[in-house]
Chains A and B, each alone.
Chain A
């Protein structure tokens, strides 16, 4: 059995892990990246649509193009990576972490000073949204359908219904249409769409695919292959309304009903999770509740744009490198940051305050709970004093917002609590 050691161990070779590896490497750390698939790039390998990199590169790139820009840099810097390698166990040791991985060569033990968990997210399944009826072939998550079409070149449906208006669902509606399938409609249980507005326009409206809000799929039919689904209108508590049921003949049900950060490794290491984000609680360097373990990308919280995934990877990479080099001192002061009224979540959930006059702006991500028109996002301390404030023409839950906050500029008390709120300003 092999044993290797490194300063920073990065788990996951998608956009977060790639950016984290490069950033940690650039900060002088010895880095090793573990990727469970054959190729680097994570889910971007199958996201062949465009729209990636607008923030970072000011270009409209496809997923593979975006990922490969990072992969090129990663390779150029000769950062070591173990591909098709799977983490079977990870535990804390006196001076860091001991992680066991397997690949076709055998079992390897990896000692590391710090760890970055860039494990991405997974899709909610049919059973998790309580779909009943039979269990035929033809029920796919949007990501699985995307894999079949974009990586394998196989058509999983000729006529489908899509449940959920998440971005992957909208993208797949267009993709299936382009590849010759008929998309009968997209059904969304909420009264507002889950995906970005532009995707509703360029993926549905452009192709005449109807979006039915406040509707859900209640049952599937078919013993072998799916033959139909039953849809129904839902009330304001999202419960199906009796008498509104309608049977739609189709051969597939494609689900885009939410993403869940993958944090099984984190949980086994005792990392505390935030029930809002389903990702770890993190500080401004994206270090979790377990010192030395960092989290980034969609494992931390589900992002709307890959550009932010890379950004969080870079923050975590820098933080992990500093931790491994012991340059990161125990912060004398830290405050909690909480999602308050109308705020779905906020990341980071803890901010350590710089010493002395050193002042560095902290990147803060948040989402609103509902759709709001003109509103004000505020961060306030316990006394109600406003630490940060920003006006928005509108806020929508599908769109993640990012702000830069200079927490050091305020004389914040150690152990204090800051609360983020959104106030809709009526005209």
Chain B
């Protein structure tokens, strides 16, 4: 029996004929109507082909009675980009788009990066746990597995070049059942010798507890990966983007692609709210919207089904409970069928404790609302990892939305019906780890393609090094004194919780690309990230931004164009 018939039969059994599966060229299209989103996702997962590297599920099943979810669109409307003819147009300012832009900037090319949001890393790249994964749970042959191994090895160098804090803190997957030890040992050997996960080892009870005295004492052993690390995902994205800008990449934020004109299999023009551009090559790094960009280009051969996850951040004061990445592995049915085995408890590069994430399928690609149930789920699980993990120490929490395909793998390839469109889709965990590696492959592919129609020379001025902003609170008193003597603003502390000076805030505002918003400054140099969550410093930061940008306090936004903080002066005639 053909595969499509088998799939149809399975779907019929489950949904009683409400879903129709059709094989078109190299995709499986699902149509019909179902009454819950969970069922729609389930149908999508059931339709995954055995040949899933090539054949993807396109899920067109409608949700009964539901209106389409509106997309957040920029307010800005002008013609700043009208008629631009970049060699490469990159859609998306997350870690994928930023890393690709930076790698492409080695070449003397006209590169334009657009993102509909008001800063880099606003969506998934700014809303994840920042773990640099080892790929121990990924199947051989997947793109995830290929790039996670390559990417993990690149992190030391990339983070050094980009001056981004990165620490290899190791990861423990902890087990309570001693009888599982032989199986997990075998599994780890298989991963090591067959799949190339070289750093894996098994740690016995005694050593585990000696090295990690806060872990649940019931743990019998753990699988340990020494190369697991942590990085700030938004700092890495911003660093990539800044380096790209330094090397000549043009960035246009608040810029949304609204239409793509595909003529006989080639994209001729791309419409945005800032005008129409005519690129030679388009890179689709649009995260959760990658399938929608593909659709605009007439080249949708995969579907993204958003999956949200919430993480919590604990006060630095509580960081004695963990100095590595650790999580309990509860071997049960839920574990074996779950797509999120990662996460856990970890100490972030900034010394906080991060707990999470959970995983919930959602229809809404941009709904970042948090829910009390998520916090409960996270702590119910992680208190089994470290009993001292307490929701009382939480200072904040956030939700991100992952962008998986039904095949649960990356889509990194040229378009099928738009031959100058390169897809970087389905980028979810371990996307952050993989980005440095796949960005190099995208660079190669794009340059090779461009060479067919133009000469591509190296960018003579390319400099892979980006200078981060000095962190005064990490310096010795002597070094700090030296910095303050040179710039007295480094001695004026604005954020008392994170000990951030006015000088560092001004450095952020003067960096190669920093929108004049509270959140942009917060992401770059951390005022407001501490336990008071900006209660004390946000008025001061507002004033520094306003003064620096030459705007009114009321014109300083929290994040996006619409996120008004202040409504203007309370009195007439105020100075």
Q: In whole angstroms, what is the CA distance A143 to B564 when docked?
A: 19
Q: In whole angstroms, what is the CA distance A125 to B484 when docked?
A: 32
Do the beta carbons of B491 and A144 come within 8 Å of each other?
A: no
Q: In whole angstroms, what is the CA distance A132 to B367 when docked?
A: 12
Do the beta carbons of A154 and B570 come within 8 Å of each other?
A: yes
Scoring B396, B488, B492 by chain A CB atoms within 10 A of each residue's CB, the highest score goes to B492
Do the beta carbons of B395 and A155 come within 8 Å of each other?
A: no
* Interface status of A396 (Cβ within 8 A of chain B): no
Choose from A102, A122, A126, A138 the contact partner of B484 (Cβ within 8 Å).
A102
* Interface status of A278 (Cβ within 8 A of chain B): no
Do the beta carbons of B563 and A107 come within 8 Å of each other?
A: no
* Interface status of B449 (Cβ within 8 A of chain A): no
Residues of A near B25 (CB, < 8 A) are none
- 20 more CB-based (< 8 A) A-B contacts, given A125-B395, A137-B564: A1-B481, A36-B496, A102-B484, A102-B493, A102-B501, A104-B488, A107-B491, A109-B477, A128-B395, A130-B372, A132-B369, A133-B370, A135-B370, A137-B563, A148-B539, A149-B570, A219-B369, A224-B558, A224-B562, A267-B317
- A-facing mask of B397-418, CB < 8 A → 1, else 0? 1100000000000000000000
A-B contact pairs, 18 of them (CB 8 A): A86-B496, A102-B491, A105-B484, A106-B484, A106-B485, A127-B394, A133-B369, A135-B368, A137-B559, A138-B564, A149-B570, A152-B539, A153-B569, A154-B566, A154-B569, A156-B566, A224-B561, A225-B563
Determine how close the nearest CB of chain B comes to the CB of A41; give it in whole angstroms: 15
Residues of A near B372 (CB, < 8 A) are 130, 132
Q: In whole angstroms, what is the CA distance A105 to B486 when docked?
A: 10
Q: In whole angstroms, what is the CA distance A69 to B366 when docked?
A: 53
Do the beta carbons of B562 and A144 come within 8 Å of each other?
A: no
- B-facing mask of A134-164, CB < 8 A → 1, else 0? 1111100101100111011111111000000
Scoring B398, B501, B531, B533 by chain A CB atoms within 10 A of each residue's CB, the highest score goes to B533
* Interface status of B54 (Cβ within 8 A of chain A): no
Q: In whole angstroms, what is the CA distance A153 to B567 when docked?
A: 11
Choose from B531, B565, B571 the contact partner of A153 (Cβ within 8 Å).
B571
Binding site for A on B (CB under 8 A): 72, 317, 366-372, 375, 394-398, 472-473, 477-478, 480-481, 484-485, 488-489, 491-493, 496, 499, 501, 531-536, 538-539, 542-543, 553-554, 557-571, 574
Do the beta carbons of A107 and B395 come within 8 Å of each other?
A: no
Choose from A88, A135, A155, A224 the contact partner of B473 (Cβ within 8 Å).
A88
The chain B residue with its CB closest to the CB of A125 is B533
The chain B residue with its CB closest to the CB of A218 is B372
Determine how close the nearest CB of chain A comes to the CB of B504; give it in whole angstroms: 12
The chain B residue with its CB closest to the CB of A181 is B567
Determine how close the nearest CB of chain A comes to the CB of B70; give it in whole angstroms: 10
Choose from B368, B473, B478, B539 the contact partner of A151 (Cβ within 8 Å).
B539
Q: In whole angstroms, what is the CA distance A179 to B531 when docked?
A: 30
Residues of A near B397 (CB, < 8 A) are 127
Interface of chain A, helix or strand or loop or mixed? mixed
- B-facing mask of A358-374, CB < 8 A → 1, else 0? 00000000000000000
Q: In whole angstroms, what is the CA distance A136 to B543 when docked?
A: 20
Do the beta carbons of B478 and A144 come within 8 Å of each other?
A: no
Residues of A near B538 (CB, < 8 A) are 144
Do the beta carbons of B539 and A107 come within 8 Å of each other?
A: no
Residues of B near A149 (CB, < 8 A) are 570
Determine how close the nearest CB of chain A comes to the CB of B541; give it in whole angstroms: 11
Do the beta carbons of A125 and B535 come within 8 Å of each other?
A: yes
The chain A residue with its CB closest to the CB of B531 is A122
* Interface status of A100 (Cβ within 8 A of chain B): yes
Do the beta carbons of A155 and B491 come within 8 Å of each other?
A: no
Scoring B375, B397, B567, B569 by chain A CB atoms within 10 A of each residue's CB, the highest score goes to B567
Residues of B near A414 (CB, < 8 A) are none
Scoring A36, A136, A152, A156 by chain B CB atoms within 10 A of each residue's CB, the highest score goes to A152
The chain A residue with its CB closest to the CB of B397 is A127
- B-facing mask of A27-57, CB < 8 A → 1, else 0? 0000000001000000000000000000000
Do the beta carbons of A36 and B493 come within 8 Å of each other?
A: yes
Determine how close the nearest CB of chain A comes to the CB of B495; give it in whole angstroms: 10
Q: In whole angstroms, what is the CA distance A395 to B559 when docked?
A: 46
Do the beta carbons of A224 and B553 come within 8 Å of each other?
A: no
Residues of A near B531 (CB, < 8 A) are 122
Closest 4 CB pairs of A and B: A224-B562, A137-B558, A104-B488, A86-B493
Residues of B near A123 (CB, < 8 A) are 532, 535
* Interface status of A270 (Cβ within 8 A of chain B): no
Do the beta carbons of A104 and B562 come within 8 Å of each other?
A: no
- B-facing mask of A103-124, CB < 8 A → 1, else 0? 1111101000000000000110
- B-facing mask of A211-247, CB < 8 A → 1, else 0? 0000000010001110000000000000000000000
Q: In whole angstroms, what is the CA distance A225 to B488 when docked?
A: 35
Q: In whole angstroms, what is the CA distance A208 to B493 when docked?
A: 41
Residues of A near B394 (CB, < 8 A) are 127-128
Do the beta carbons of B532 and A125 come within 8 Å of each other?
A: yes
Residues of B near A122 (CB, < 8 A) are 531-532, 535-536
Choose from A84, A153, A224 the contact partner of B574 (Cβ within 8 Å).
A153
Residues of B near A80 (CB, < 8 A) are none
* Interface status of A180 (Cβ within 8 A of chain B): yes
Determine how close the nearest CB of chain B comes to the CB of A13; give it in whole angstroms: 14
Choose from B317, B368, B478, B570 the contact partner of A155 (Cβ within 8 Å).
B570
Q: In whole angstroms, what is the CA distance A109 to B571 when docked?
A: 44
Residues of A near B554 (CB, < 8 A) are 154
Q: In whole angstroms, what is the CA distance A141 to B553 when docked?
A: 18
Q: In whole angstroms, what is the CA distance A270 to B472 when docked?
A: 25
Do the beta carbons of B553 and A134 come within 8 Å of each other?
A: no
Q: In whole angstroms, what is the CA distance A122 to B537 when docked?
A: 12
Choose from A84, A128, A134, A154 the contact partner of B369 (Cβ within 8 Å).
A134
Q: In whole angstroms, what is the CA distance A321 to B484 when docked?
A: 33
Residues of A near B371 (CB, < 8 A) are 132
Q: In whole angstroms, what is the CA distance A156 to B518 when docked?
A: 15
Q: Provided the pairs A104-B492, A127-B394, A154-B553 are in contact, do residues A141 and B535 lie with their beta carbons within 8 angstroms?
A: yes
Q: In whole angstroms, what is the CA distance A148 to B563 when docked?
A: 16
The chain A residue with its CB closest to the CB of B393 is A128
Do the beta carbons of A147 and B569 come within 8 Å of each other?
A: no
Q: Provided the pairs A144-B538, A148-B566, A155-B568 are in contact, do residues A104 and B496 lie with their beta carbons within 8 angstroms?
A: no
Scoring B372, B501, B535 by chain A CB atoms within 10 A of each residue's CB, the highest score goes to B535
Q: In whole angstroms, what is the CA distance A147 to B394 when docked?
A: 25
Determine how close the nearest CB of chain A comes to the CB of B35; give it in whole angstroms: 23
Residues of A near B553 (CB, < 8 A) are 152, 154
Do the beta carbons of A158 and B567 come within 8 Å of each other?
A: yes
Determine how close the nearest CB of chain B comes to the CB of A384; give it in whole angstroms: 36
